[in-house]
């Protein structure tokens, strides 16, 4: 099974290439811990989605560290890597979003796979749950069966600024029925989280399950994204300069058309990430605490 890591973002709010910012005395990054956990869970291949200009930096650091432990591939999220029928509009510089990023890995993935963000620490439980989901899945009903690790909202917040999270609604069987992007979650208070909606403050329960872009897919997702990008370009609301096609949008389209279902795998794991530069000190302290407690070895790749 393959782990696909979306690592093409530069982290504008953080102020640098945060995916390659060491968080341990051995120079390891958050990505190292993600890959280590995935290997422990049973994954045997890693595909990095990166910017072409960052290839040497990735290969010479985490790539060289892990290549002796797991098969490693690199793909580039190039602006012109688009399906037939659409071309890059004049003046476009910004990448096309997370769904497009995943499509860029299609030629390197021929089995079930997980998708994660490079700068998020998800914890072993999420990888194990996704791996076991596909190992135990035996349905053959003509529909794609996907999964997603769902995190408790209160376990995914930072004190250093607003964050965006996908609010998940599920049925009684934990099947995802909708996912709504909440783009400016700003603070916790009295068991609720306050977010801005068209400039107005609205509340959501702090125990709401949310998406952190930790997905489990079959290769069926690729064909849909190809068609979805074409539809995205042809939409009346298409913004040729800033518009992005997001992974939750692609999944929602497939659910609504009956092409897939999505099992929400709720985890109590605590998410750690460096959305802002001020987050780093806290993340470093928590990961080193786990190392001190024996949850991770001191030096992931020393053996």
Domains of the chain: 2-142+211-258+270-292 (3.90.550.10)
Average pLDDT over residues 267-292: 83
Residue found under tokens 């995916």: 19
Instruction: Please say if the pLDDT value at position 187 is more than 90.
Output: no
Confidence of residue 82 (pLDDT cuts 50, 70, 90): very high
Predicted confidence (pLDDT) at residue 137 exceeds the cutoff of 80: no
Given a cut of 90, whether residue 266 has pLDDT beyond it is no
For the ranges 16-30, 58-72, 191-205, 216-230, the maximum mean pLDDT occurs at: 216-230
- The verdict on pTM exceeding 0.85 is yes
Under the banding of pLDDT at 50, 70 and 90, the label for residue 156 is confident
What would the DSSP string read from start to end of 238-284? --TTT----HHHHHHHHHHTTSEEEEEEEE-PPPEE-SSGGGHHHHH
d(CA 61, CA 7): 14
């Amino acid at each position: 099974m393959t782990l696909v890591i979306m690592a093409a973002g530069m982290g504008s709010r953080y102020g640098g290439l945060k995916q390659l910012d060491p968080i341990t005395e051995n120079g390891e990054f958050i990505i190292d811990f993600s890959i280590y956990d995935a290997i422990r869970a049973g994954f045997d291949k890693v595909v990095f989605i990166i910017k072409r200009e960052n290839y040497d930096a990735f290969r010479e650091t985490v790539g060289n560290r892990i290549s002796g432990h797991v098969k490693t591939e690199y793909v580039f999220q190039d602006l012109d890597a688009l399906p037939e029928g659409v071309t890059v509009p004049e003046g476009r510089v910004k990448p096309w979003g997370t769904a497009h990023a995943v499509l860029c890995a299609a030629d390197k993935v021929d089995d079930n796979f997980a998708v994660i963000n490079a700068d998020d620490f998800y914890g072993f439980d999420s990888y194990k749950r996704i791996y076991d989901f596909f190992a135990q899945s035996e349905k053959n009903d003509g529909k794609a069966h996907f999964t997603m690790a769902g995190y408790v909202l209160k376990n995914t917040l930072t004190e250093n600024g607003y964050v965006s999270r996908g609010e998940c609604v599920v049925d009684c069987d934990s099947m995802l029925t909708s996912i709504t992007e909440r783009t400016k979650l700003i603070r916790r208070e009295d068991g609720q989280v306050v977010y801005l909606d068209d400039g107005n403050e609205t509340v959501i329960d702090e125990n709401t399950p949310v998406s952190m872009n930790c997905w489990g897919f079959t290769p069926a997702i690729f064909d849909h994204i190809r068609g979805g990008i074409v539809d995205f370009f042809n939409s009346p609301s298409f913004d040729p300069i800033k518009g992005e096609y997001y992974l939750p949008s692609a999944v929602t389209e497939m659910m609504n058309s009956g092409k897939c279902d999505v099992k929400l795998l709720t985890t109590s794991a605590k998410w750690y990430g460096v959305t802002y530069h001020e987050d780093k000190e806290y993340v470093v302290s928590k990961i080193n605490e786990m190392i001190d407690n024996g949850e991770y070895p001191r030096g992931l790749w020393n053996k």
